[in-house]
Amino acid sequence: MRFHRLDLNLLVILDHLLQGKSVSQTAQFLSLTQPAISNSLARLRVHFEDELFVQVGRRLEPTPFAKTLAEPVKTALQDIERIIIARSDFDPATAERDFTLVCSDYVYTAFLTRVIRKLAVIAPKVNILVMLNSEMTSPLLNDGQVDFLITPQGLTFPLHPSVPLFSDDFSCIVWTGNEEVGDSLTREQYLDMRHVSVTLGPKNPKHIEQKSLDMLNIERRIVVYTPTFNAVADTVVGTPYIATVHSRTARLFADRLPLKVLKAPVPIATFTECLQWHRNKDADTGTLWLKEFLVACARDF
């Protein structure tokens, strides 16, 4: 579609580049080739009569004029999206719709797999793209690039609506072949053992259970950090290590791996996962339907 001789699809590419993405990252996200992105950038430069981006080392830096376009372009794309998805009703049995959701692999394993099994039956033409929560993907909700974010309470964006989904606590898992651990753990055993934990990135290296233990001045000897929660369970198998994980997934891990689930011998606070969506999608019937569906699934969780 063209508007004032500009292909509006070019604005999508411009928006991604203005967010600091490289040509290769933009191409990957939009499922295009790098030459296609470079060609689109050349067309944008001709239209706006500005260089828009200059190469600084390995990065593309926006020009002063390009910086003035960032907010108007984002707002325009969000307005266009609202117009496109606006409809009087949403029938899950017939609706053809793509939804993008960001969550941790814990939420995906423990909760979303159940949701998807139900969706496959009642909404056969609805497609779900799940992205793992990280420092890169979480802000996509605030930018309006994903439909939903599931994240612990306290980590939601204050400007957008959210609802609590479900709560969980923590348990310990050890390999069933670890003969040093019986059917229960003492505090001393827990502190003496070598631990496996998760790191969520350099800006947020500590997970909830570690923050809770920090408040109690409890220090563990962590010998392995994994990038995902599922990797923790696989790491513990065949070792004398211990891990403190979400209780819901601890039971799932023990069903498929030689692991024993034990009560944590230290008080670790429970937590609540929340569902959040962009405020601009409050009136979209598809978004509202999936929100209510997720909340209903959580009630039976």
219-233 pLDDT tens trace: 899 999 998 899 999
pLDDT of the residue at 3: 53
Residue recorded with tokens 């609590």 = 164
Tokens of 185: 């753990």
Half-sphere exposure of 275 (CA within 13 A, CB side): 23
pLDDT band at 206 (very low <50, low <70, confident <90, very high): low
Q: Identify the residue with better confidence: 240 or 19.
A: 240
Q: CATH number for 97-167+272-299: choose from 3.90.1150.10, 3.20.20.450, 3.50.50.60, 3.40.190.10.
A: 3.40.190.10
Q: Which two tokens stand for residue 17?
A: 């580049």
Over residues 171-177, mean pLDDT: 97
Question: Cα 132 to the chain's mean position, in Å?
Answer: 4
Answer yes or no: is pLDDT of 2 > 60: no
**In 3-state terms, what secondary structure has residue 19?**
coil
* Nearest alpha carbon to residue 117 among 301, 285, 245: 301
Question: Looking at per-residue confidence, does 255 or 89 come out higher?
Answer: 255
Mean pLDDT over 196-216 rounds to 72
Question: Comparing 240 with 137, which gets the higher pLDDT?
Answer: 240
Q: How far is CA 270 from CA 212, 245, 251, in A?
A: 9, 12, 16
Top-confidence range, 11-25, 98-112, 127-141, 204-218: 98-112
Q: Which residues contact 3 (CB under 8 A, 6 or more apart)?
A: none
Whether the domain at 2-85 and the domain at 170-269 fall into the same CATH topology: no
Dihedral angle of Cα 235, 236, 237, 241, to the nearest 10 degrees: 130
Instruction: Say if residue 159's pLDDT is above 70.
Output: yes
Burial 127-148 (b: 16+ CB within 10 A, else e): ebebbebeeebbebbbebbbbb
pLDDT at residue 204 tops 70 = no
- The pLDDT score that the predictor gives to residue 1 is 47
Does the pLDDT at position 86 exceed 80? no
Exposure on the CB side of residue 288, measured as CA atoms within 13 A: 13
User: Of 43-52, 149-158, 205-214, 252-261, which range is least confident?
Assistant: 205-214
Residue type, 298: A
Q: How far apart are CA 166 and CA 301, in angstroms?
A: 8
pLDDT at 198 over 80: yes
User: How is domain 2-85 classified at the CATH fold level?
Assistant: Arc Repressor Mutant, subunit A (1.10.10)
The more confidently predicted of residues 206 and 209 is: 209
What average pLDDT does the chain have?
A: 88
Among 54-58, 97-101, 132-136, the range scoring the smallest mean pLDDT is: 132-136
pLDDT at residue 88 greater than cutoff 60: no
Q: Are 22 and 59 within 8 A, CB to CB?
A: yes
Which of the four pLDDT bands, split at 50, 70 and 90, describes residue 82?
Answer: low
Q: What confidence category does residue 87 fall into, taking pLDDT thresholds of 50, 70 and 90?
A: low
CA 139 to chain centre: 9
| Unique residue bearing structure tokens 């409050």 | 282
Domain spans in the chain, listed from the N-terminal domain onward: 2-85, 97-167+272-299, 170-269
Q: Which of 53-57, 120-124, 154-158 has the highest mean pLDDT?
A: 120-124
Q: What is the mean pLDDT of residues 196-205?
A: 72
Give the SS3 label for residue 77. helix
The reported pLDDT for the residue numbered 264 is 93
For residue 181, what are its two tokens?
Answer: 């651990």
User: Where does residue 54 rank: exposed (0-12), middle (13-18), buried (19+ CB within 10 A)?
Assistant: exposed
Cβ neighbours around 255 below 10 Å, total: 9
- Among the ranges given (13-17, 21-25, 31-35, 80-84), the one the predictor scored with the smallest mean pLDDT: 80-84
Q: How far is CA 251 from CA 13, 109, 274, in A?
A: 44, 11, 22
CATH architecture of 170-269: 3-Layer(aba) Sandwich (3.40)
Classified as helix, coil or strand, 189 is: helix
Query: How many whole angstroms separate alpha carbon 87 and alpha carbon 198?
Result: 42
